[in-house]
Every structure is written in C-alpha cells, then in structure tokens.
Amino acid sequence: MAKLKRLATKLDDTVEIFEPVSSEELLDRHLDYPMLSPRHFSQKYNKLFEPIEFVFNGQIHKIQFNYCVNPYCLWFGQPQKRFEEIKNKPSRYKLSSKGKGKSDVIVCNPNRQTHPNKKTHNCTVTPVSNWSVAEEIKRLATMDIVKDIEPDYVFHNIGCVNEDFTPFTHQKFFYRRGTSSGGSQKWQCKECKKITNVLPNREQKFTYHQKKNDIMPMFAKMLLNRSPVSRTCEALDIAPQTYYHKLEWLYRRCLEFLERYEHKPLKTMEFDSLWLNTDKLVYNLNNVRKKGHGGLRYDNLEDKLMQTHIVVTGDIDTGYIFRSDVAYDWTITIDDVHEDTLYYREDHLYEFSRKNARLRFSYSPQPPTEKDDETDFEFELLQSNFHRRKKYIDGLHTNSNYTALAHLWLIKQTLHSRKWRFVSDEDDTIMKAIYRAFNDEILSGEAHHFLCKIDREKDLPEAYKEYLTAASKLKAWGELNGFEELSLKKLALLKIMYELKGQPLYRVLSDGAQTYKVWAKNPVEHPLPPSDKGYFSVDCTTDISSLSDEYVANMFFKVSDRPTSNFMQMIRRRLSILERPLVTARGGGKSYIYANFNPKYAQMSLTILRTYYNFCLKMKTKGKEKLTPAQQLGLTDKQFTLNDILYFK
C-alpha cells in the first residue's frame, strides 16, 4: 500500500555531489588566504577544467562543461588537453581576462596539427562553474520528486522486554486500540502498556492532516482560471495561509500523479527521434521585504520589480511539456552563501571555481586582505548590497545559464531517443546550454539545432495577410515551374530545397592549406508560414552537410515554436501571479499588482498547470481527433480530470 508522501528537500540527497575540495586543499586555502593576492589565490585554486562527480538515480555522473561551443570548430565539445608531443606543449584552450569587473573567457588556441576538414576559429565562451551546475541539477531534480513519510516510532517504554518488536513484524505482542481523531491506528504494547499512533497509508486516510478538503476541486479550478489569491480566499472563505497550504498540497498531489503517469512510463519508452522546442519566459517578481523590515524609508531598497526567468521545453509533435523551471532557488539563504564563502574562501576565487556561481550573490564580500587591491569604499558598497538582501524574501535568483543547462541535462537523462532535434530562438543562453548538454550527440550527428526567427510584434490580421500572400506566391511559383498539381505542403518542400541550393546553411572556406566549413548565418524564409504567425525564417546552427537536401527540407518544414508559445500563453491566461502587467488606474504605467512575491509558489503553480495541460486538456491532432498531449505522446490512453489528479489512490 502507498504511504503518505512529503515534498523532497535538499537534505534527502536526491543528488549526492562529491565535494571537489579535499581537506588538505581546504587547509591550504585558509593558510594562503591572507598571504596571497586575490589574483594569485584564484590562479592557485583554479577549477576551470576540473570535472565534478555526483550520484543521480543510482548512477555516478561526471560533468565538465568548459569547452568550445561552436559546432563548426575543431575543438567543439573537446576537453582541455596539453599536447606534450608538440613544441612548447600548447593546450587546446587558454583563459583570457578582460579586466577587473568583466567576465573571463575561454579562448580556442590554434590547432598545430593538420585536420582534413576542420580548424579552430579563435572562439570565445564564458566559462561556467561545474560545481554550481551540479548544485542546480540537484535543485531541479529535488523539485521533481516526493518521498515517503517514514516516522521514527517508539513503541515501548525504556527497559521493556519487548523493545525489539514492532506491530509491523510481531503483532501478537500488541493490542489494537482503535484509531485517533486523525485516522491513525493506535497500538499498545502488551508488556509496558505504551500507546503509539501509527500514520495511516494513503488508502486508509487520503485526507490526513487536511481540513476543508472538500474545497480542493474548486480551489484547483480557481487557481487554473486566473483567480487572484485574495479573490480565491474570499470565495472559499479561507485565510491566505490556508491558500498557500492548499497550493502546496495540490503541488504534491501533482508530483505523485506525475511519478506514476510520467516518470515511470518514460523510463521504458524509446523514441526514434524527438523534436524539442525550448524557450524562456520573463516575468517580474514583486520584490517584497520581510515582515518587520518595511517602514517609510526608501533610501536602501532593492529594485521593486525583479526580472525572473522560466525555462520551458516541449515536444513539437505532441505539444507535451516536459519541464518548466523557474530560475530562482528558494531553498538557499544569504547566510548559507556567507558560510560557504568563509568555509571555501570563495571571495578570492574565480567565478567559475565557486560553489555558488549560479546565484545572484555568488559570495559574501569580506574585508580586504593586506595584498588585496580592493578599497574600503568598494568593500562597504558590496557588503551593503549583500546584507540588504536579508531584508527581503528568502531565496536568490539563479543565473538562467545554469538553470537552462541543468534543465536540458535532466531532460537528456529522462528521455531516450536515437535522434535529437532542438528548436529555439536566437537566445545565446539556450543555444549554449544545448551545445553543452548534448555535445556528444551533436558531434556524432545524432543531434541538430534549428533557429526559429519570428517577428512577435505583428498582430493577427497582419500575420494572416502574410499567410495569404505567401500561399499565393507559392502557388504562382509552382505554376511557373510546372508543379500545378502539387499540394501547398509539397510545393513548400520543393521551394525550401530550391532555396537551400541557392543559399546553403554553411560556407566552405580555405586558408590555402585546408578547406573547412563555417556557419553561414543565412536563414531561409519559410515559404508557407502559419496563419497566426506570418513570415518567419529558419536556420540550422549545426553541420548538416552529410544530409540530403530533401531530408533537410523536411526538417525545416517541421521547425516550430508552437509548443512553448502555446504553454506560455496558457501561463499568462490561467495563472494570476504570472499574468501580463495591468495598466495603472492613471493610465500612465504598468502595474504588477498580482505578481507573486515568492517564486516558490510560481514553480508550484507551473507544475500544477503543466500536469493539467498535459493530461487534461484535449487538442486537435493532425487526424482532426482531439487528444491530450499525454495521449499523443503515448503515456496514457485516457483523458484525466482534475478530480483524477486530486483523488487518485
């Protein structure tokens, strides 16, 4: 029988990270900290190319993401290496500093050995902290699971002769004493007479520790239909504290539902190819001060509105949304960062060597040491900004680079496909995350990345007019070339093939000694755009020179951003705390009055919406039949309802 569940926490070791700092190195850091300048200290304890190991799902994984991310470069996806056999012993990469206050970059060194069709391009990429990527993977993985509640029962008084027996293994040594008001079974030891309450399982007491459980169906409907928190509290006659308690309970129910109907089926499903669309949604977080830290003074405040990112990935064929993650860590506090800074001496390390590089405040400012060139004024300013954060809601924003990378790495572990196809807009964060998480697949030709460039400023009438114009031009092109009998789709495929011959996606260059390919950055306009988007262009950033024009044309025709666009529209329309800003009463600006003040609840609401969207909402398929995304993907064979999610056993 299923046990009662709870949300996982970071203490559960969902991901067990092996600390990359030994006790000897830690001692050396503390000894060297006052003796070395920050520059020499960071160079001595440089972790740029050191991999990090961790245990996830019972397997040991090793990650190292600091390498070239240009798919046309010879060094793409290759780890750092020193060529001992070549004069001067050059390395693949070098670290280049752009000066104080600016990010360091990894630069590709020239290749000293001949290669038949590739060369280095002096590429640059901003490094990431492998340790911090692992920490972000741990955060996102922990949010996905629930754990059994397993209390540590004491069934006997001290000195009882039956203290080794429990009612689970030796019932004959205990009396049943009925159930408590909460539905838990009471057991009494026959020898020492101690009475102990045992938690019921889910079948025995589904609503354990839940008051007003009868309001949950209406609560879920109001949450998913853009009802503000205050209006929901009024309609259901509950307090705000009860609202968030119910929200957390519903979130846990969705995770239990996904554990059964998403996680387990995906473990055994094999896909021939997957078309994934990844995008980012930006919303403004109401940056609220903690109780007791308000007041009338406004001279020491953070920004009232904090820009927050949500990373979403969906399947183009079915519309199924695999993940939606908020770039905010509500499990960490400013004091945790301070403790890590003192323990690892992170204030004198390179950003990419820090444990907390993913966070908005990656270290706690410390007083300048004797060999530090930081002034007292600079230190006091940094310290003031750091400690000011303590007045605000717990948690810290994470760099969306790290969230996107962890997001895609977890998708790679969850899904099993022979071929991968990725579609995104020209967002550098997402593109580099794809190149890093799927570098092996891109190198082997099993993965390709496509750009979908759409002008989002167009209104629907303008987009529809462009669709009609494009269809008319396509028909005229077909008649001119003797293809009058072909459908618009087949004409569009032929037109793409014709365009690719005239303007290939890559250029072949020569330096006199060898020829090599580079990305042409020459997108192809889609000949048959959707009626609701109008003209848009398609490009491929990976090397597809080995594929036929017909195969590439079919891939180009399939490129779309519809999965993430549809889900993001659903977020705006159905979740009050994530809707678009309202016009102020004076009409002179924007109001984010309904925006939430704790992204923890934004993440919970997104997971609830994602579950409802994937398993409960039917959509038209190519065969005109209406199915849910989960049905189309093959996870289930039925449409679920909200009550199925709330009350499944």
Lowest mean pLDDT: which of 162-171, 265-274, 280-289? Answer: 280-289
| Residue 366 clears pLDDT 80, i.e. is over it | yes
Helix (H) or strand (E) holding 537: strand 536-540
> Coil, helix or strand for 575?
coil
What letter does residue 288 receive in the DSSP assignment? Answer: P
Is 503 buried (19+), middle (13-18) or exposed (0-12) by CB count in 10 A?
exposed
User: What average pLDDT does this structure show over 622-634?
Assistant: 88
Q: What is the pLDDT of residue 596?
A: 65
Q: What is the pLDDT of residue 445?
A: 92
User: What average pLDDT does this structure show over 269-278?
Assistant: 95
Q: Decide: 520 and 503 in contact? Cβ < 8 Å.
A: yes
Distance, CA of 323 to CA of 318 (rounded, Å): 14
Q: Decide: 180 and 190 in contact? Cβ < 8 Å.
A: no
User: What average pLDDT does this structure show over 599-620?
Assistant: 93
Distance, CA of 341 to CA of 45 (rounded, Å): 14
Q: Decide: 142 and 9 in contact? Cβ < 8 Å.
A: yes
Q: What is the pLDDT of residue 540?
A: 93
Q: Residue 105 CB: number of other CB atoms within 10 A? A: 16
Q: What is the pLDDT of residue 49?
A: 94
**β-pairing verdict for 328-329 and 515-519:** unpaired
Under 8 Å CB-to-CB from 375, ≥6 apart: which residues?
368
What letter does residue 398 receive in the DSSP assignment? Answer: B
Task: Sheet with 105-108: list strands edge to edge.
Answer: 93-96, 105-108, 124-125
Question: 254: pLDDT confidence band, cut at 50, 70 and 90?
Answer: very high
| Residue 300 clears pLDDT 70, i.e. is over it | no
Is 136 buried (19+), middle (13-18) or exposed (0-12) by CB count in 10 A?
buried
Q: Decide: 606 and 575 in contact? Cβ < 8 Å.
A: yes
pLDDT digits (tens, 9 = 90+) for 239-248: 988 999 999 9
By percentage, how much of the chain surpasses pLDDT 90? Answer: 53
Distance, CA of 382 to CA of 578 (rounded, Å): 31
Quote the radius of gyration of the chain (alpha carbons, Å): 29
Q: Decide: 612 and 224 in contact? Cβ < 8 Å.
A: yes
Q: What is the pLDDT of residue 77?
A: 93
Q: Residue 58 CB: number of other CB atoms within 10 A? A: 5
Name the more confident of 503 and 432.
432
Q: What is the pLDDT of residue 204?
A: 53
| Residue 525 clears pLDDT 90, i.e. is over it | no
pLDDT digits (tens, 9 = 90+) for 154-185: 899 998 988 889 888 888 999 998 887 767 78
Q: Torsions phi, psi of 33, nearest 5?
A: -55, -50
Q: Decide: 312 and 278 in contact? Cβ < 8 Å.
A: yes
Q: What is the pLDDT of residue 271?
A: 95
Question: 516: pLDDT confidence band, cut at 50, 70 and 90?
Answer: confident
Q: What is the pLDDT of residue 203?
A: 58
Question: 492: pLDDT confidence band, cut at 50, 70 and 90?
Answer: confident
Tokens for 188, please give them.
Answer: 């009494």
Helix (H) or strand (E) holding 179: strand 174-179
Question: 594: pLDDT confidence band, cut at 50, 70 and 90?
Answer: low
User: What average pLDDT does this structure show over 265-277?
Assistant: 95
| Residue 512 clears pLDDT 60, i.e. is over it | yes
Distance, CA of 22 to CA of 232 (rounded, Å): 52
Distance, CA of 408 to CA of 418 (rounded, Å): 16
Q: Smallest Cα–Cα separation from 321: which of 11, 107, 14, 628?
A: 628
Beta-sheet strands, E only, within 363-478: 396-397, 417-424, 447-454
Name the more confident of 184 and 2.
184
User: What average pLDDT does this structure show over 581-608?
Assistant: 69
Q: Smallest Cα–Cα separation from 448: which of 360, 538, 371?
A: 538
Q: Torsions phi, psi of 529, nearest 5?
A: -70, 160
Q: What is the pLDDT of residue 590?
A: 56
Tokens for 397, please give them.
Answer: 């924003």
pLDDT digits (tens, 9 = 90+) for 63-113: 999 999 999 999 999 999 998 888 888 899 999 886 666 678 999 999 887
| Residue 141 clears pLDDT 90, i.e. is over it | yes
User: What average pLDDT does this structure show over 378-393?
Assistant: 86
Alpha carbon of residue 230 to chain centroid: 30
Q: What is the pLDDT of residue 105?
A: 92
By percentage, how much of the chain surpasses pLDDT 70? Answer: 91
| Residue 229 clears pLDDT 60, i.e. is over it | yes
Name the average pLDDT for the chain.
Answer: 88
Tokens for 138, please give them.
Answer: 């741990």
Tokens for 413, please give them.
Answer: 């572990």
Distance, CA of 436 to CA of 129 (rounded, Å): 13
Q: Report which residue type is found at 341.
A: T
